[in-house]
Amino acid sequence: MLTNLFNYVRFTLYALLVVIILMLYQEWDKEHPKTMLTQPTATTSNSYVPQVSIPNTTEKTGSTAAVPSNVTAAPAGSIIHIQTDVFSVDIGTLGGDITNLKLLKYPEALHSPNPVVLMNDQKNTRYIAQSGLLSDVGPDTSKGQAVYTAEQTEYKLADDQKTLQVKLHWQNKEGIKVTKIYTFERDSYNIGLTYQIDNPSNQVWNGSLYLQLLRANAPTSHDGLVSLATYFGAAISSPEKAYEKISFKNMESKTLNQTINGGWAAMIQHYFVSAWIPDKNTTSQYYTRVTADGLYTIGMIGTPLVIKPGQTLETQSKLYAGPAVADRLESAAPGLKLTIDYGWFWFISVIIFWMMQKIYNVVGNWGWSIVLVTVVIKLLFYHLSAKSYRSMSGLKKLQPKIEALKERFGSDKQKLSQATLELYRKEKVNPMSGCLPILIQIPVFIALYWVLVESVELRQAPFILWIHDLTTKDPYYILPLLMGLSMFLQQRLNPPPPDPMQAKVLMLMPIIFTVMFLNFPAGLMLYWFVNNVLSFAQQWYIMRSMNQSKK
């Protein structure tokens, strides 16, 4: 019978939604295994020698410099501190590496005075950005990294400045000079890197530029977020594949060795991204490495640079280190915004976030933006839902007639089915249309989940009253309880299943969903509660209108 089929499909869709929620939990567990929180046990030095090797193409120029993994780093030089309107950065004169980077506009926790520490040089959570020139005669050789000098140890972007340059200097006994220049811009998370090489000697200088990110496999957890299936690992981009994840597990099992024109190499964590971006016209050898002291490395080394006596050369690249904001990422490098992973229904997520952002620009509150987007979604599917609710209402009114048919035909299921079908055709009722609201809600629910999880714009965004962060759970579990109550009330408007067991299970669904959603983001609970209230109001209005029209 169609009635039984309808109830079976409705029950199956609810079960499917439960399975999807469990899959989200399992995905998070897969991306965040317990071993990921294990800290490296090996003793590490304060500074690190770059763990890269010159590709075979370099050997043709006579340079076979490589930095073996067992080299002991020279004592670290001094630390240069830089502050801009968005950054607090430490650069070590040993190698000129970025050893500490804080994002001043992003508190590490709600109401915390401390900014997010994106990079650091601590033993257990080390995460640094390295760059250098590998050559037999330096700056960086098989014996270690160069030690640079600088005019000062403190730099600050003044209020009337748009850019700030920090210059590091190195010179060998033959007179070859290298100037490593970091360029910071106001309201920008792009850090320019320029190497100026001057060769006044009587010998050819040749070497290669390398860029790499090193970090411990110890993800930080800002704001106490749990059960979020966000990606933590590395990624690269190439003309053939704009975005390719390279997890730490993949690094352990297989070493990357790929020639790429342009592209970028990134480390990704929840809400934040760092990426080395070479000149788009250069060709580099991209690589990965896992060191004995627990560091995971992704980077690139360029084709040889050859500077004849009396000549100079300049090579440029940049580092993006900041929030995963689509506009900023796209302006930094093509395809970098793909690091914002919206999951299975990304095309719906992009539309939802676009609508939310437009509404936020007007109302100035992400919570009300979610509410209004929910209203927009309900309006878009209003007629489809209305048709479904009319069928549901009609089906509920037919229950006495269906019971009469059961008594009339008894155990003759074939005649009962034919008579029921004829009744449906006569009353113009389609039981299957009642499943549409549930079916539509599944992809929208998943898409909004990923918007809340991945959008740094919503990080620590308040709503009203007790909701101080839409991306974390409701601290008092009020929204999940309201969601469950609204789901229960909406179910009361639907015809009960003829199967007692199905009826009991469906009655338990609001309780099951409430318990499962207790720790989900408050913004997601806000969406579902508002959606249920609007659905209940629409269904009640339609049922009331149908009752009045038949009087």
φ, ψ (nearest 5 deg) of residue 450: -70, -30
Residues contacting residue 74 through CB under 8 Å, at least 6 positions apart:
47, 94, 144, 145, 147
3-state SS, residue 112: coil
pLDDT of 37 strictly over 80: no
pTM over 0.75: yes
What is the Cα–Cα distance from 424 to 239, expressed in whole angstroms?
57
Give whole-number Cα distances, 49 to 21, 44, 58, 179, 255, in Å. Answer: 45, 11, 20, 19, 19
The two counts, helices (H) then strands (E), for the chain are: 13, 19
Kindly give the pairing relationship between strand 264-269 and strand 272-278. antiparallel
Say what the pLDDT of residue 541 is.
81
**57: pLDDT confidence band, cut at 50, 70 and 90?**
very low
Q: Domain 79-221+228-341 falls in which CATH fold?
A: Beta-galactosidase; Chain A, domain 5 (2.70.98)
φ, ψ (nearest 5 deg) of residue 354: -60, -45
Lowest mean pLDDT among 13-17, 160-164, 321-325, 515-519: 13-17
pLDDT digits (tens, 9 = 90+) for 236-262: 999 999 999 999 999 999 999 999 999
Spell out the domain ranges in the chain: 79-221+228-341, 348-549
**288 bridge partner residues:** 298
Angle at 262 between CA 258 and CA 263, to 5 degrees: 70
**225: pLDDT confidence band, cut at 50, 70 and 90?**
very low
Q: What is the DSSP letter of 497?
A: P
pLDDT digits (tens, 9 = 90+) for 324-357: 999 999 999 999 999 998 877 888 999 999 999 9
Say what the pLDDT of residue 335 is.
93
Nearest Cα to 96, choosing from 54, 164, 48? Answer: 48
What is the Cα–Cα distance from 360 to 371, expressed in whole angstroms?
11
3-state SS, residue 545: helix
One DSSP character per residue, 410-424 reads TT-HHHHHHHHHHHH
CA atoms within 13 A on the CB side of 428: 3
What is the Cα–Cα distance from 35 to 41, expressed in whole angstroms?
13
Percent of the chain scoring above 90 in pLDDT = 50
pLDDT of 51 strictly over 70: no
Q: Tell me if 90 sits within 8 A of 100, measured CB to CB.
A: yes
**30: pLDDT confidence band, cut at 50, 70 and 90?**
very low
What is the Cα–Cα distance from 298 to 264, expressed in whole angstroms?
10
Identity of the amino acid at 450 = W
pLDDT of 444 strictly over 60: yes
What is the Cα–Cα distance from 131 to 175, expressed in whole angstroms?
22
φ, ψ (nearest 5 deg) of residue 351: -65, -45
Say what the pLDDT of residue 333 is.
96
Residue 348 is inside which H or E element, if any?
A: helix 346-363
The alpha carbon of residue 24 and the mean position of all alpha carbons in its chain are separated, in whole angstroms, by 14
pLDDT of 41 strictly over 50: no
What is the Cα–Cα distance from 243 to 7, expressed in whole angstroms?
43
Say what the pLDDT of residue 49 is.
40
pLDDT of 282 strictly over 60: yes
Say what the pLDDT of residue 454 is.
86
CA atoms within 13 A on the CB side of 341: 19
Mean pLDDT value across the chain: 80
* Residue 116: Cβ within 10 Å count: 21
Q: In the numeric block, which tokens belong to residue 243?
A: 């975005």
3-state SS, residue 43: coil
What is the Cα–Cα distance from 8 to 502, expressed in whole angstroms?
8
pLDDT of 392 strictly over 80: no
What is the Cα–Cα distance from 221 to 119, expressed in whole angstroms?
14
